[in-house]
Amino acid sequence: MKIIMLGAPGAGKGTQAKQIAAKYEIPHISTGDIFRANIKNGTELGKKAKTYMDQGALVPDELTCDLVMDRIQQEDCKNGFVLDGFPRTIPQAEALDAALTKIGQTMDYAIDVDVPDENIVNRMGGRRACLNCGATYHVVFNPTKVEGKCDACGSDTVLRDDDKPETVQKRLSVYHDQTQPLIDYYQKQGILKSVDGTQPMDQVFDAIVAILGA
């Protein structure tokens, strides 16, 4: 099963993608996590990506596409994968389609987690991320057991630099300009499914399972 998670930053793509990956036993591929891991490890890619991420801008397609194409051709992706945060532009979607066409495959589902902008600002202000293992929490909707410490690995949880209010507004406008057109793109391909992302997390997941099958 090959799935794309669509939706605004903070809509809950990562939250749902992790559960989908666990249930259907497919890898969760988050470009944001890959970039953050590169930043943490001080790689050249990380240094380049950080300048864009800190401004709430998109990392250029030429730095993003190849790394996803390499990742989806790895052995653990042979039964499918869930893409979270990719594609974010029409050229990225076209690059993905072209890479899959070459190996005689197509995407199965593009799931749009639909959340209005006014909810997004609260979501992102309350999001706390573990930069060690990538787990995500929310101070109100999904708090850690011990304040400020990741449940999974015990490391500190932090407010991401790009979740600060001034950057959130910029990311939302980038989303509307560059990523939202993908909804139409996948609608035309006949693989778009939409879920109401304002529901509690477990209900959003139930709606997704109803689409994908138990």
State the minimum distance, in angstroms, from the CB of residue 177 to ligand AMP. 13
Q: Counting contacts by CB under 6 A, is residue 127 touching ligand AMP? A: no
Mention every residue, 6+ apart, whose C-beta is less than 8 A from residue 32.
14, 84, 85
Q: Which CB atom, from 165 or from 190, has the smaller least distance to ligand ADP?
A: 165
Question: What is the token pair recorded at 80?
Answer: 């499918």
Give 59's DSSP letter: P
* DSSP at 198: T
Q: How far is CA 199 from CA 8, 11, 143, 162, 211, in A?
A: 15, 11, 17, 24, 16
Is 83 one of the binding residues for ligand ADP (CB under 6 A)? no
Residue 142 interaction partner, one of ligand AMP, ligand ADP, none, beta carbon < 5-8 Å per kind: ligand ADP
Binding residue (CB under 6 A) for ligand ADP from 12, 56, 87, 134? 12
CA atoms of 202 and 180, how far apart (whole Å):
25
Could you tell me which residues come within 8 angstroms of residue 10 by beta carbon, excluding any fewer than 6 positions away? 115, 120, 123, 124, 127, 163, 168
Whose tokens are 């042979």? That residue is 78
What is the identity of the amino acid at 64? T
Stretch of 38-46, 74-82, 86-94, 139-147 lying at the interface with ligand AMP (CB under 6 A):
86-94
Residues 175-204 that bind ligand ADP (CB under 6 A): 197, 199-201, 204
Under rule CB under 6 A, residue 87 binds ligand ADP:
no
- By CB under 6 A, the count of residues binding ligand AMP is 16
| Residues designated as active site | 13, 88, 127, 160, 171
Residues that bind ligand ADP (CB under 6 A): 7, 9-15, 123, 126-127, 136-138, 141-142, 197, 199-201, 204
Residues that bind ligand AMP (CB under 6 A): 9, 31-32, 35, 52-53, 57-59, 64, 85-86, 88, 92, 162, 171
